[in-house]
């Protein structure tokens, strides 16, 4: 039985068509994988189903009846609950207040029954993340803890239909496994689910079928119960062409000149006595379990967080890292990982975003050559395949993956000496990931030293010459990327952990 049927859904945002007569169905008690590259309309479809957005055209049938949800509240009352990609948590409330938010237990006279709510929240956190204190303020949680609380919050609503929009992007493997066990349990209880993820492994593991969107249209459906779980076929549906993920990019050995030298860098509490060198043209990966200081290392190098001791030399000259300006002037640029809050002006156009760094450097003539800059920006957009009708579109109108490309585009024409990438491909689709890393390799070939932190080891193995493994703020392994596998990296990180 189909519990949900979305027929001929169309949705526009300004001039951008997010969904174009798209269909989606889900059967009772099944987990449907919703796949597609960034901007293909997955999140939009989810938000239309749960009432956050209203469709311009098309109908939604839920449990056999046509429904028009005006808000998430109405959908939630009908048993539809959603794990939002960008989280629906309120930073100033506690974990338990967030979990029950909008569905608080009240006494007959209308006063909040906080003890009941706390117990309920505790019961649900125990199933997924028992170590999180429900009395903590949400603003103090780490990204993966936030993601877990967001999942717990949707579960606490006792959904009959659950939409999980990229719930695993911020999670470690162990947490993903716990989540999958919970999902299997829910499935047994008859709950139907939509699962959105860019990780094909996960989709193959948990989903009963997949629906693929491409550019806001249906690209195809694969029923895993009848058909093979063919990864190449799925990728083909997603991208429309055949790309292979496993090919490692073969690279010439790097230049001999040392580009950046880091000596005994410390910054409490996360970084302890870190030393390494990167040569021109070399791509260095930073690996390790989540939250071991990788992001902090990137921020410290970029001058965002103060360095307590140690020094950093670029081309033999000491860089004082007091302010991001120092790093930028020395030719060291950071592409931040959290594009929602760093690295992009969401309210400004693509064009302005791309030219800000150039403006900030105060090089060149007093009057900016707008015509030249516009041509430059258009060229970058084409090179990076940024999907947009115009370079004057506002950044927040772009999909997540395209936003990330804009962040990278910022620094392209400045010929960076050192490029820092902090989890650049988080939540970015297969095609965009390939484009992004091709670009990084091109930059490296021109002599840039690249340092990448990625939560996904596969990405590192694909492009890096050398990989450092970080544990509790120190480097515990330094391996050349020759004949090593993901398992070796995880082993190196875990062995120290024990």
Residues near other proteins, by CB under 8 A: 52, 71-73, 76, 82, 84, 87-93, 97-98, 101-104, 106, 110-112, 153
Cβ of residue 427: shortest distance to other proteins, in angstroms?
18
Cβ proximity to other proteins, 70 vs 382, nearer residue: 70
Cβ of residue 129: shortest distance to other proteins, in angstroms?
19
366: tokens are 């007093």
Cβ of residue 79: shortest distance to other proteins, in angstroms?
13
Cα–Cα distance measured from residue 170 to residue 463, given in angstroms and rounded to the nearest whole number: 22
Cβ proximity to other proteins, 110 vs 365, nearer residue: 110
Cβ of residue 278: shortest distance to other proteins, in angstroms?
34
Cβ of residue 167: shortest distance to other proteins, in angstroms?
15
Residue 316, exposed/middle/buried by CB under 10 A (0-12, 13-18, 19+)?
exposed
How many other C-beta atoms can be found within 10 angstroms of the C-beta atom of residue 199?
Answer: 14
How many other C-beta atoms can be found within 10 angstroms of the C-beta atom of residue 250?
Answer: 5
Cβ proximity to other proteins, 45 vs 335, nearer residue: 45
Cβ of residue 102: shortest distance to other proteins, in angstroms?
3
Cβ proximity to other proteins, 81 vs 410, nearer residue: 81
Cβ proximity to other proteins, 194 vs 312, nearer residue: 194
- Cα distances (angstroms) measured from residue 54 to each of 49, 167, 275, 288, 481: 9, 23, 53, 42, 49
What is the three-class DSSP state of 143? helix
Cβ proximity to other proteins, 6 vs 82, nearer residue: 82
Cβ of residue 93: shortest distance to other proteins, in angstroms?
6
Radius of gyration of the chain (CA): 24
Cα–Cα distance measured from residue 125 to residue 94, given in angstroms and rounded to the nearest whole number: 13
Cβ of residue 74: shortest distance to other proteins, in angstroms?
9
Cα–Cα distance measured from residue 175 to residue 168, given in angstroms and rounded to the nearest whole number: 8
Cα–Cα distance measured from residue 144 to residue 291, given in angstroms and rounded to the nearest whole number: 9
Comparing C-alpha atoms, which of 351, 360, 355, 306 is closest to residue 328?
360
Cβ proximity to other proteins, 111 vs 366, nearer residue: 111
- Cα distances (angstroms) measured from residue 2 to each of 62, 80, 210: 8, 15, 15
Comparing C-alpha atoms, which of 310, 272, 299 is closest to residue 472?
272
Cβ proximity to other proteins, 106 vs 370, nearer residue: 106
Cβ of residue 324: shortest distance to other proteins, in angstroms?
19
What ranges in 449-485 are assigned the alpha helix state H?
457-463
Q: Supply φ then ψ for residue 202, to 5 degrees.
A: -65, -40
Cβ proximity to other proteins, 104 vs 126, nearer residue: 104
CB 339 within 8 A of CB 428: no
CB 191 within 8 A of CB 165: no
């Amino acid at each position: 039985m189909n519990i949900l049927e979305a027929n001929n859904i169309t949705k526009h945002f300004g001039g951008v068509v997010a969904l174009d007569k798209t269909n989606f169905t889900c059967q009772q008690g099944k987990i449907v994988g919703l796949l597609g590259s960034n901007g293909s309309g997955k999140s939009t479809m989810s938000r239309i189903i749960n009432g956050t957005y209203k469709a311009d055209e098309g109908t939604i049938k839920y449990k056999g009846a046509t429904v028009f949800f005006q808000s998430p509240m109405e959908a939630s009352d009908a048993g539809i609950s959603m794990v939002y990609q960008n989280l629906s948590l309120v930073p100033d409330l506690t974990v338990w207040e967030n979990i029950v938010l909008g569905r608080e237990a009240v006494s007959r006279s209308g006063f909040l029954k906080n003890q009941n709510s706390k117990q309920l929240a505790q019961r649900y956190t125990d199933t997924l993340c028992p170590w999180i204190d429900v009395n903590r303020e949400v603003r103090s949680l780490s990204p993966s803890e936030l993601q877990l609380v967001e999942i717990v919050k949707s579960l606490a609503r006792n959904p009959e239909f659950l939409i999980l929009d990229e719930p695993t992007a911020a999670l470690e493997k162990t947490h993903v496994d716990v989540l999958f066990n919970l999902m299997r349990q829910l499935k047994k209880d008859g709950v139907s689910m939509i699962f959105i993820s860019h990780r094909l492994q996960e989709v193959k593991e948990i989903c009963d079928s997949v629906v693929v969107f491409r550019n806001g249209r249906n690209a195809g459906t694969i029923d895993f119960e009848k058909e093979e779980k063919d990864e190449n076929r799925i990728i083909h549906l997603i991208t429309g062409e055949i790309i292979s993920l496993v090919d490692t990019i073969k690279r010439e050995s790097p230049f001999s000149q040392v580009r950046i030298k880091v000596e005994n860098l410390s910054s409490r509490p996360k970084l302890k006595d870190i030393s390494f060198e990167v040569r021109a043209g070399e791509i260095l990966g930073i690996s390790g379990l989540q939250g071991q200081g990788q992001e902090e290392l990137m921020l410290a190098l970029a001058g965002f967080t103060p360095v307590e001791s140690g020094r950093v030399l670029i081309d033999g000259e000491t860089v004082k890292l007091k302010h991001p300006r120092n790093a930028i002037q020395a030719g060291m640029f950071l592409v931040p990982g959290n594009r929602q809050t760093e690295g992009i002006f969401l309210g400004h156009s693509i064009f302005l975003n791309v030219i800000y760094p150039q403006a900030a450097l105060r090089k060149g003539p007093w009057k900016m050559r707008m015509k030249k800059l516009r041509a430059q920006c258009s060229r970058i957009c084409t090179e990076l395949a940024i999907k947009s009708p115009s370079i004057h579109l506002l950044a927040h109108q772009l999909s997540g993956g395209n936003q990330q490309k804009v962040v990278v585009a910022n620094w392209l024409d400045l010929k960076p000496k050192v490029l820092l990438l902090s989890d650049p491909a988080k939540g970015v689709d297969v095609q965009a990931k390939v484009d992004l890393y091709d670009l990084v390799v091109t930059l490296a070939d021109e002599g840039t030293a690249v340092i990448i932190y990625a939560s996904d080891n596969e990405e590192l193995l694909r492009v890096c010459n050398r990989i450092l493994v970080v544990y509790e703020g120190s480097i515990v392994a330094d391996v050349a990327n020759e004949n090593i596998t993901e398992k070796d990296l995880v082993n190196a990180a875990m062995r120290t952990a024990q």
